[in-house]
Homo-oligomer: A and B are copies of this chain.
Amino acid sequence: MHEQLNFIIEILGTISFSMSGSFAAMQKRLDPFGVLIIAFVTSVGGGTVRDLLLDTPVFWMHDLLMCGLILATSIFSMIFKSIEKNFKVTLFIFDSFGLGLFTIIGVQKGLNLDIHPLICIGLGTITGCFGGIIRDILLNRIPLIFRKEIYASACIIGGSTFLLLTHFTTLSYTFIQIFTILMIVSVRTLAVKYHWQIPKFYGYESNSEM
């Protein structure tokens, strides 16, 4: 059942990120092949960096289903590009789910390979965030990590909670999985809705060189 849940999680995350990449690339007016490349990089970027760091085979290299799914989602997004305007909120929630899903997958993959839990939080954050970071670098956008939205912070908070709950409670693994994914989604969604910000206790002035 575990396996199945993980599988569904990965499918959903891939679709979410593939859509988010496609729309970002269309906004920048790339041609269809360019849109496809950005969709691909956004979907697999985080997991690829994680797998390279862990020295395990890169997850999509033998996975035609995943590649086909990205291709299909990207083409779908190009055809129904109007959905972006009408479903902006839906897409935002989709992207948040991608973030939560991929973060927890990253933490789990590290734990399975006997990496120290603290380092696994880093692996989860990388899996969740790097796809979006690479997308933004390639598209010359303001890097994700800059924006006011709580993004990487949500991964770190969710990943830490996942570890604390698995270590110190007897809750079922599946429950913890779903709970922390929803937690990342909620933290990010609420942060954007209510303009939450992590307090900066160091006090650089606004008019810095940025």
A interface residues with partner B (beta carbon < 8 Å)? 26-34, 36-38, 40, 48, 52-55, 57-58, 60-62, 64, 67-68, 78-79, 81, 115-116, 118-119, 122, 125, 133, 137-140, 142-143, 145-146, 150, 152-153, 156, 197-204, 206, 208-210
Contacts of A210 in B (CB 8 A): 27-29
B62 and A115 form a contact (CB under 8 A):
yes
**Cβ–Cβ contact B204 & A26, under 8 A:** yes
Contact B204 A31 (CB under 8 A): no
Q: With a CB–CB cut-off of 8 A, which chain B residues contact A115? A: 61-62
A146 touching B140 by the CB < 8 A rule? yes
Which B residues touch A54, using CB under 8 A?
Answer: 61
Are the CB atoms of A122 and B67 closer together than 8 Å? Answer: yes
Complex Cα spacing A115 to B64, Å: 10
Q: Nearest 3 CB-CB pairs, A to B?
A: A31-B198, A81-B202, A33-B153
Complex Cα distance A142/B209, Å?
11
- Residues on B with C-beta less than 8 A from A153 are 31, 33-34
Contact B116 A32 (CB under 8 A): no
Q: A64-B119, A119-B67 are in contact. Are A145 and B30 (CB under 8 A)?
A: yes
CB atoms of B31 and A208 under 8 A apart: no
Do residues B146 and A28 form an inter-chain contact, with CB atoms below 8 A? yes
Q: Are B133 and A33 in contact (CB under 8 A)?
A: no
A28–B64 CB distance below 8 A: no
Q: Which residues of B contact A32 (CB under 8 A)?
A: 198, 200-201
Identify the closest chain B residue to A133 (Cβ).
Answer: B138
Task: Given A52-B52, A118-B64, check contact A202 B78 (CB 8 Å).
Answer: yes
For the complex, what is the distance from the CA of A40 to the CA of B34, rounded to whole Å?
25
Decide: B58 and A48 in contact? CB cutoff 8 A: no
Given contacts A142-B140, A145-B37, A146-B28, contact A118 B204 (CB under 8 A): no
**Contact between B116 and A198, CB atoms less than 8 A apart:** no
Q: Cβ of B138 and Cβ of A140 under 8 Å apart?
A: no
